[in-house]
Every structure is written in structure tokens, then in C-alpha cells.
Amino acid sequence: MFQIKKSVAMFFFLSAFCLTLNAQPKWINGFTNRIAGENIEYHSCHPEANLALLIRCFNDKDYIEWNTDTIASNYKNKFVAFAWIAGYSVATSTSPHKFYLYINDNLLFEFNTAPNQEQKDWQLSLEDGSNLHFKFINVDAVDDFFGYMVLTIPSNLLDGLNYARIKIKGDGTNSKDWYMTMQYPLVPKTRINPEKVITKDSSGNLLQRVKVSVDHFDSPKTVKIISERDTLSSELELGMNDYYLNFFAPKISTETTIDINIAGLTKSYTTIINPAREITFYLIPHAHVDIGYTDLQTEVEKKHWNNYEKAIGYSKESAKYGKDAVFKWNVEVLWAVKSYLENFPEKKEEFYEAVKNGWIGLDADYANVMTALCRPEELYRLVGYSNELEKEIGIKIESSMISDIPGYTWGIVQAFADNGIKYFSVGTNEFDRIGNTLKTWGDKPFYWTSPSGKDKILIWLAGKGYSWFHHWRLTRDDISPLAKYLDELDENNYPYDLVHVRYNIGGDNGFPDSNLSEFVKEWNDSHITPKFKIATNTQMFKDFEAKYAGVIPTYTGDFTPYWEDGAGSTAKETAINRNTAELLNQLEILYTLFNRRNFPKKEFDEAWKYVLLFSEHTWGAWNSISDPEIKFVTGQWKIKKSYVVKADSIARKLLRGLMSSDEMNKVVDNFYVYNSSSWQRSDIIKIPESVKIIGTTVIDEEGNLVPTQILTNGDLVFTAKNVPPFGFKGYKIVKDKNGNDKKSPLINYTLSNNHYTLSFNEENSAINFLGKTGDNFNYVDMNNRLGLNEFIHTGKNAENPIYTKGGKIIGYENGPVIKSILIKSDAEGCNDLLQEVTLFNDLDKIEIVNTIDKKKEYDKENIRFAFPLNVRNAVSRIDLAWAVIQPEKDQLIGSNKNYFTAQRWVDISNNNNGFTLSTIEAPFVEFGGMNAEAWMSSPDKEWFSNTSSSSLCYSWAMNNSWHTNFKASQEGVVSFKYSIQAHSQFDYLSAYKFGVESSQPLHIIYNDDTVKKYYQTIELDSTSSLVITMMKPSEDGNLMVRIFNPTDKTDSSNIRVGTNEYLLYLSSGDEEEKEQIGNKITLNPFEVVTLKIKEKLN
């Protein structure tokens, strides 16, 4: 039995267009090679034509140009016709536009495109017989047009050449509307593809289909296809002609022959039909939530609101189709769900009912964030709203979805597991900067264990990513791509009988497919395999785990992400957001300690929301790089930037709120220094010149005179020593001047105190000697041409490095508290470069602040600071959220090995000495070389598949590396602060504390004695390695704390809370009381636990 489907190329000339049969020229292949224009990977009306030349209507200088095939030397016809595959924007068009077609630089045709164009086939003719004909074949997934363009011209227009050079320009109207020519030569070809698709005929026979595809690029010709079962006659038209033949499904591999006769010429083709196993595709319908990119963020939100309502309607309509075909919708993230429920409270009941029915699948993440950018506590807040929804609806949310983004920081496992998230569905981008992610882990589900090894989640990277159906639809296209996928699964020895498939149509921020349920029902009724099942994310995972839990492999390590570097295109805002997240973490602790009964939960929730929205992966518009100044682009960035501003503003207001309002403007004569950490701390305190103080002499609460120093800018600084854990220390200011503000002269380009000695290279302002005072060992690698903290400006992929030359000391401090040097240099790409290096007389650290006044630049560029260290046989360690890794050793295969996104610090050390660098504002680091963009060096260059430790570290501070989404340029003043500590043997706890102390400073509250009477204490053993990382009130008024072991050794601690008796419970993000424990806790290396602490009632 034959089934015939001419799915793509039905090409008939209209009678008004046709030349006489004798005069009609043969179509010549209209594309052989590119001359000029933008390359883009894109779909078309031909499944193998996936590379295009793209021209938009941005400006009239841009064009695409290519050569046609050559004409035979004996060609004598008066006319010659060239054919190629073409497409242009219709549904995605914004307004009518013109395109101009040139032959050998001579303008020949002007053709028009328009939004929602009704005329699909069209042609233009000239008096000399020239004709341009677009033959429509199909619309793509977003309803733009694709087909064949046929250009017929008098042969004499070729000016004696045996080929044509074709050029197309847009109308230069600053529009994104487009035309593309597919870079696919039209060459006759026949393919025989047995497919693992089985049906059953009326007699009960199992039939397996074979697809016959014939590419035909000539005038219509007859075709006869002959198999062992039947004979088919048809007519070949221009393009790909598809035919389907059914054979008895074999139980073993079976060879068969198919004869194809075209216009009297027969060729025989032998193929092997392999048995097909039964398999089910679990379709996960969703729209990828880009908060921006395709539209302004406010419009995107409305699109997803509309999707929820459409989806519920489709579910109701399809309820009659049975459980596998009932429509379901996965929200992907909860950002738009939250605003939908807030804006339409009258629709809550219907939405909640749809969730309970299994029609709407809720996934835990608030947004598609770039996880390595998130601070440790931020990862918990990522799923915080899911805990609220669980309680409100009365369900459990057990799955997470992330789309587009390749790579995920290891600590996400801990945050998910602690919040009851068991399953992690990943749909990466199919190709764009994904490195080795998809080819390594696509369709290889595994249990991913946490850094402590105690928790795990089941993660599955969909083998076709999230966007496979951006190019086609099950409900209106042939399923051959899916049949090919079945072959790929078998070739890769795929061991399971169900497959995770993201069904995402309409592009990013797309829409539900109203025909999906009907398609699934009809297909399943008529096919044995494959079957389809429409599912929620959680349902798919539960079915899979129930069947295969015993054979799913387990892996551990960091899935080092690839896309986080885009945040380097907005270095200032990225720095602010990192610091805001740290401040919020501190303020929650301080507010809880002061008076948790009046905890401003609403304000904290709002601030964390904006922090997350900035970490969300959509930085801007799709054309942010190609057209950075248009309103569509600048409008999206304005909203994105507002998230940073709002989060910072709320945090600063909360910080001011720690002081009573009537005390804030008084002259300061006393103040308190507060420690938000669970260990005793000493650190520098700065009272800004803007604060009115009664004098400059500081006395601590024991009556000791504290050394102070007045800086050049008028700020007063001193060292607050031994501030107790979660405690405070009081100070008074008296009028007597202690004389500690006198500045001693600076000796040349050197700095020295009782901890460190530094010297600087006068030529490039870098540090060429860093040693412990009294020790001649230099921590700077003098065998490297680079100095420590040396500025480097490069183009793309570290091309054309330019270093600073010359520098001038423009300021210094030299007193009893700090010593510093401020050097101003000329730096490429910058108006100014200021580098301030500070030593602290009572603290074992060095602080560097590099301040750049950046010039606006659209050409690709990078700015780095080098840290070449004299540490032989070095081991590199990188601080992550809830983990510490060594490059390669602690990474999953397929991870990013070109650069890393550090949390608070990196360390380079051996068994004798080392160097901890706290990267406070600039998270991206490279080891061994400027490798982040090495994959860009040539078209065939791939991302690194392995890496290693190195004593050479670069802080990759700024870039405009991307081609979409992120910022094309940045300008203005931005500072990058680094803290450095040289040490002997590496110690995990010391590094952890150093990182936290560098990013979470001690805080001052002026003139307010009232806080003392509210203050609550909580303590761990001072000898323990365990630390408390979070403290806040629970919903029921009790106390929630998070405890972490940041070392590689198991450790314990007693927990003491105030003076009253308390009960301790193991808990989680949902604040449930899982198990009562005693007042002592033991944690494995890198283990995290969340506790609920309740006051014991008598």
C-alpha cells in the first residue's frame, strides 16, 4: 500500500507567466557560493537548507550577494532562469518594505513585502521579458513565507558571462524586516529513508513506512516508483517531492529494493528496513519565558497571561480525548504566574483548579536565571515563591524547568533538594554558545548529587533542546524530523522507551498549539509506534523514574555554565546586583536579631524579586547588538536596569531603617558596629565625611582609645576589632583630637606595613613585588611579562592586547590605620583608569580598587586584570554557591572549561604557600590564559573539553562579546574591588570567611541605644567550622536559620539561642518541621541544613 504526500514542492507556473514549451529555459541552480552578507543558521521549506544569507531593512548600505551556477557552453536559449530557495518576513513584519534585486550590479527588480501579506505566489515582469517569480511553498512556525524564487532574464543581460552575480538590498528604513536566500545549491537528489513508524491495516498487519524524497529542479516530469508491493505514478514538481510507502514491519533487519523511473530513466535503490521498537514521546507544551527579547517586558508578561487562559480552554475542550491527549501546559517559570494571580484575583479559582486537574504544570523557578551569577541565598529565593503557591493551592511543586541556558552551578542541586524539588527539566538552546552541553548530556538523564553528596535531583537535558519546534509543528507539518530523531536515538543506543520532548511553538514567548490534542488522539488511534503523550514536567519525570529508577546513573560535579559572561556587558549593574544580594542577606539577619516580630517581609520579598529579575538571562532585545540605539532596544534595557536600581534602593532604605528616623540627622557622638556573621570579626570601618560627628577621637566600650585616621576625602577610618558573632560593639566619639590623622610622606612607588610590602612598576602601574613583610619571597611571578593587577584591553578572543603605559601617583594615604597609593593611567577604551591599592595596619589583607571611566565602544572588546602568581605546582580553587571546585577535577564533562564564574573568591596555592583573591564585583575568571573566547578564533574551533589549575589568573572584568541579547557597549564609571590575602597552606574555612568578610562588611548604626534591648543572640561553637548563612523569621513567627559546612571535613557544633529554651527542627524552604533534633548538629563537607527554631513553651 502506498501513501503519497507532496509536502513541500508543488510548483506550477501560471498561464500568464508561462513561456511556450519550446522556449521555456531549464532552471539553473541559483546559488553556488556566498560573496557577501550575514550568515545565519535558519530553517526553510527544504529540510536540508538550513544556512541563509540574511538582509534586513536597517540601512541601505547592507546587502547580500552570491553567484549562481554556470550555464552550459552550448546553451542557446534566448532566456535563462535561475532558481533558489528564499524566504521573507510576513507575520513578523512590522510594516511594508521594499527590497532591490541587482544582476551584476545593475538594478533589475524592486519587490515588496508586507505584514500579513495575503498574496502568496507573486511575480513581476519587465518589457524585455525578465520575470521574478516567488512560488510560495509554506509558512514557518511563526507564519513567515518560504518558497522558491525563480529569476528569468534575457541571456544577453549576463554581459558575456556564463553565470549571474545576484545582489539584494533592503530599503534602509531602520527596520528588522528581512529577506533571506538559502545557501543551498539546487542539485537533483534522491533519498530513501526507512522510518520507525508503524501502523496497523484493516487486516491487522503491522506496516512500517519508507520515505522516498526526490529533489527535482527541472520542468515537470513523470515519476514511477516500484516496490515489491505496488507501483505508483506521479509527476515531479520543482523542489522536494515526498512519497511514503508502507512495507510489512520486519522483526529482523530486512533488505528491499525500490526502483524509481523519472521520464523513462530507471534507477534502483537498495535499503534496509530495521525493526522499530515501541516508544512514547512525552510532549511538554510550554512557551519559553524570555522576560524581554522579543517584546518589551510588560508585553511579554501579558502574552503569558493570555497563554494560561488559552491553555485552560484547550484542556477543557480536549478532556474527552483521554488522558494521553488532554491538553496540558507547563508555565516554565512562575514570574508571570505571580503577576497573573495578583492582577486577576477573580481568576484564581479556575487557575488553581486547572493545576489540581493536572492541566497546568507549575515549575518551581521564579525565572530562567543564569544560576552562577546568583549569590548562595539567591538560589534559595529562586524557588521561594513556589513554596507559597504550594500552601495556597494545596499541592506539591516538585519540578523545575530552565530553558535556553546551557550550564548550571552546582549549588542549584542543594537549593532544589532543600525545597522539595526532585526533578530538573533542561531545554538548552540548540546551538548558540552551548559548548559541549547538549552533545554530552542530551537525552542522558542522570541523578545529580549535591556538593555534600547527601542530596540529589534527577536532571534531563532534552536532546532537541527547547526550540526544536520553532521550525515546524507536529500539527501541520510532516513528522519526518521526529522519525529521524528516532534513528538518532537508536544509533546512540538510547536505553529507554520514553523520550522527553519540549513542545514550544511560535518562537520565544510563543503560544499553545490549539490542535495538539486532536493530533495526538488521531495519531495514537492509528499508530502502534511512536506514541505521543501530552504531559506536565512532573508527570513525565514521575513516569520515567517509576520505570527506570534502578538504572539511572549518578554523577557529581559542577555543570559550569556558558552564558554568564553576558553580564560582563553591563559590569556596573552586575556589580551593584551582586552587592545588593549580599546586603539583603545581611539585613535579613540584622532585622531578625533586632526584632523579628516587626520583620519587613514585604520589602525583602520585593527586593529579592528584583535581584532575581536582573539575574534572569534576558538582558535585552534580540537586536541589542545589531541596532543598539533604537527605541525597542533602549526601552528593554531601561526596564532591565530598573530591576537593579529598585533592588538597590529597597536595600538601602532597609539599611537606613535600622536606625530610628529621629536619630539619623543628629550630630554623632556614639555608634554601634554590627556583625552579621556567625564568627568574631575585625574590619575597617569608615565614617563618611558627610556624617556629622562631634569629633575625631574614637573610644571603644572598654574605654580604650582607638587609632583613627582622616583620609584625604574627609572620611574617618578605624579598625573595629573583635566584634562578636551576630553581635555588636559600641563606640563613642569625643571632641578631643587624637592627632592620628597626620599623613606621613610616601616613599616612591612602594607600600609597606607590618603585614605586606608592595612595589609598583612605574611603566604600567602594576604590582611587581608582593611579599610578606620581613620575607623576601615574591608572590608575583616575575617570569611572566605581566604584573599583578595589570590592565589589559583586547579585541575579540584576546586579539591585539594593549597594556597601560606610564602612570602617575595622584594621591596616597599613610597613617596609623591604612596606607594606600592611587595611580592614574591612560588605558585603551577608557577616559581614565584609577588603581588604588590599600594596606591595613591591623588587618591581614590587601585591597585593590580599579576604577574605569569607560568609553562607549561598539567594536568587540574585553578588559581584564592579570594576577600572575609565583606559586609552583599550583592548585586552583573556585568558590561557588555551596561548593568549592578545582578546575577539571570537580566539573561534569561537557561543562564550560574556558572560563569560570566565581562566587566570592578564587585561591591559588600549593602545599607551602598560596594566595586568595576575592573577586567582589567581577565574577569571571580564567586560568592559564585569556581563554574565554578562544572558541571564536576560527570557525572550526571548539570550546575546551578539558582544563587544569594554573598560577596565572585573569579577572575578566568587561566585555561586549555577544551577538544578541546583551549590551553592545557600556560607558561611564565603574569600580572593581578585589581583596587579597597571602597565606601558607590552603584552609577552606579561612578562604570562606575571607570571601564573606570581603563582600559583607560590618555595619554602623549611629546614636541608637534602643537596638540593644531587642537584640537576640544565637551562637555556634567558636572552634567549629560550621557557619550560619541565613536567618529570618518563619511565617508562624519562629526562627529560620541555614547552617553550612564550608570545608572538606565533617564537623559539629552546639547551637545556643539566647537565654530561653528552644526546640530545634530539621526543616526546608517550605518551613515544615520535619524532625526534632538536639542542640548539636553534625554536617558533612559542604552540607547545608535549614533549621526551624521554636521557643519552648512551659
Superfamily of 280-562 according to CATH = Glycoside hydrolase 38, N terminal domain (3.20.110.10)
Return the closest-CA partner of residue 534 out of 505, 502, 497, 510. Answer: 502
- The DSSP H or E segment spanning 719 is strand 716-723
Q: How confident is the model at residue 23 (pLDDT cuts 50, 70, 90)?
A: very low
Model's pTM, two decimal places? 0.92
Lowest mean per-residue pLDDT among 139-148, 268-277, 546-555, 559-568: 139-148
Residues 6+ apart with CB under 8 A from 965: 293, 566, 617, 618, 619, 620, 621, 622, 624, 625
Q: How far apart are CA 724 and CA 682, in angstroms?
A: 9
Q: Where are the domains of the chain?
A: 2-182, 189-273, 280-562, 574-658, 666-740, 750-999, 1017-1095
Give pLDDT tens digits for 461-481.
999 999 999 988 999 888 989
Q: How far apart are CA 919 and CA 899, in angstroms?
A: 14
Cross-strand bridge partners of residue 683: 720
Residue with C-alpha cell 491487522? 204
Phi-psi region of 576 (alpha: psi -120 to 50; beta: other; left: phi over 0): alpha
On the question of pLDDT at 22 being above 60, the answer is no
Record the cell numbers describing residue 415, joined without a space: 537549593
Q: How far apart are CA 963 and CA 870, in angstroms?
A: 37
For residue 58, the model assigns a pLDDT of 85
Please give the torsion angle defined by the CA atoms of residues 823, 824, 830 and 835, in that order, rounded to the nearest 10 degrees: 10
- Architecture of 1017-1095 per CATH? Sandwich (2.60)
Q: How confident is the model at residue 5 (pLDDT cuts 50, 70, 90)?
A: very low
CB atoms < 10 A from the CB of 660, how many? 12
Q: How far apart are CA 610 and CA 538, in angstroms?
A: 28
Record the cell numbers describing residue 1007, joined without a space: 546614636
- Three-class SS of residue 309? helix
Q: How far apart are CA 1067 and CA 1080, in angstroms?
A: 15
Cross-strand bridge partners of residue 672: 730, 1005
What is the CATH topology of the domain spanning 2-182?
A: Jelly Rolls (2.60.120)
**φ and ψ at 386, to 5 degrees?**
-65, -35
Q: Give CATH for domain 750-999.
A: 2.70.98.30
**φ and ψ at 1061, to 5 degrees?**
-85, 140
Report whether 1012 contacts 658 (CB < 8 A): no
Half-sphere exposure of 908 (CA within 13 A, CB side): 24
Q: How confident is the model at residue 918 (pLDDT cuts 50, 70, 90)?
A: very high
1018-1020 and 145-154 beta bridge pairing:
unpaired
* Span 288-311, average pLDDT: 98
For residue 1011, the model assigns a pLDDT of 59
Record the cell numbers describing residue 242, joined without a space: 515526498
Sheet strands side by side (includes 1039-1044): 1027-1033, 1039-1044, 1088-1095, 1062-1067, 1075-1077
On the question of pLDDT at 10 being above 60, the answer is no
On the question of pLDDT at 14 being above 70, the answer is no
Residues 6+ apart with CB under 8 A from 352: 392, 393
Give pLDDT tens digits for 732-756.
999 875 545 556 666 678 999 999 9
For residue 217, the model assigns a pLDDT of 86
Report whether 38 contacts 53 (CB < 8 A): yes
Q: How confident is the model at residue 18 (pLDDT cuts 50, 70, 90)?
A: very low
Lowest mean per-residue pLDDT among 69-73, 130-134, 1050-1054: 69-73
Record the cell numbers describing residue 989, joined without a space: 574555612
Q: Give CATH for domain 189-273.
A: 2.60.40
Cross-strand bridge partners of residue 165: 67
Residue with C-alpha cell 547538549? 438
Return the closest-CA partner of residue 451 out of 26, 988, 35, 80. Answer: 988
CB atoms < 10 A from the CB of 870, how many? 20
- Supply the Cα-derived Rg of the chain in whole angstroms: 33
Report whether 199 contacts 207 (CB < 8 A): yes
- Check residues 147 and 59 and name the one with the higher pLDDT: 147
Return the closest-CA partner of residue 146 out of 176, 112, 182. Answer: 182
User: What DSSP state is assigned to residue 473?
Assistant: -
Report whether 504 contacts 141 (CB < 8 A): no
Give pLDDT tens digits for 639-673.
999 999 999 999 999 999 887 655 567 889 999 99
For residue 742, the model assigns a pLDDT of 59
Residues of the chain with pLDDT > 70, as a percent, come to 95
Record the cell numbers describing residue 597, joined without a space: 516580630
**φ and ψ at 376, to 5 degrees?**
-50, -45
Q: How far apart are CA 721 and CA 706, in angstroms?
A: 10
Q: Is the peptide bond before 530 cis (omega within 30 degrees of 0)?
A: yes
697-700 and 705-706 beta bridge pairing:
antiparallel
For residue 1061, the model assigns a pLDDT of 86
Cross-strand bridge partners of residue 272: 255
CB atoms < 10 A from the CB of 127, how many? 5
Q: How far apart are CA 116 and CA 445, in angstroms?
A: 42
Cross-strand bridge partners of residue 371: none
Lowest mean per-residue pLDDT among 781-785, 961-965, 982-986: 781-785
Please give the torsion angle defined by the CA atoms of residues 141, 142, 143 and 144, in that order, rounded to the nearest 10 degrees: -110
Identity of the amino acid at 442: G
Q: How far apart are CA 993 and CA 677, in angstroms?
A: 9
Give pLDDT tens digits for 69-123.
999 888 888 999 999 999 999 998 989 999 999 999 999 999 999 998 889 999 9
Cross-strand bridge partners of residue 113: 97
CATH class, range 666-740:
mainly beta
Cα separation values, 455 from 265, 663, 1022, Å: 66, 48, 28
Report H helices in 549-630: 571-595, 601-615
On the question of pLDDT at 1014 being above 60, the answer is no
On the question of pLDDT at 997 being above 70, the answer is yes
Q: In angstroms, how far is the first alpha carbon of the chain from the final one?
A: 84
Give pLDDT tens digits for 622-636.
989 988 999 999 999
Cross-strand bridge partners of residue 1051: 1083
Record the cell numbers describing residue 757, joined without a space: 610590602
For residue 74, the model assigns a pLDDT of 86
* Span 430-457, average pLDDT: 97
Q: How far apart are CA 210 and CA 248, in angstroms?
A: 11
- The DSSP H or E segment spanning 342 is helix 335-343
Q: How confident is the model at residue 7 (pLDDT cuts 50, 70, 90)?
A: very low
Report whether 25 contacts 266 (CB < 8 A): no
What angle do the packed helices 384-393 and 348-356 form, to 10 degrees? 90
Report H helices in 935-1027: 988-999, 1011-1014
On the question of pLDDT at 852 being above 70, the answer is yes
Report whether 642 contacts 648 (CB < 8 A): no
Q: Is 984 exposed, middle or buried (0-12, 13-18, 19+ CB in 10 A)?
A: exposed
For residue 1009, the model assigns a pLDDT of 64
Report whether 20 contacts 262 (CB < 8 A): no
* Span 201-209, average pLDDT: 92
For residue 1010, the model assigns a pLDDT of 59
On the question of pLDDT at 1077 being above 90, the answer is yes
Averaged pLDDT score across all residues of the chain: 93
Note whether 666-740 and 1017-1095 share their fold: yes
Sequence-ordered strand ranges (E) for 250-406: 254-262, 265-273, 280-285, 329-330, 360-361, 399-404
On the question of pLDDT at 11 being above 60, the answer is no
Q: How far apart are CA 187 and CA 181, in angstroms?
A: 16
Please give the torsion angle defined by the CA atoms of residues 780, 782, 784 and 787, in that order, rounded to the nearest 10 degrees: 50
For residue 879, the model assigns a pLDDT of 99
Report whether 957 contacts 865 (CB < 8 A): yes
Return the closest-CA partner of residue 472 out of 490, 487, 489, 484. Answer: 484
Q: How far apart are CA 34 and CA 65, in angstroms?
A: 6
Return the closest-CA partner of residue 248 out of 266, 235, 265, 230. Answer: 230
Please give the torsion angle defined by the CA atoms of residues 464, 467, 473 and 479, in that order, rounded to the nearest 10 degrees: -10
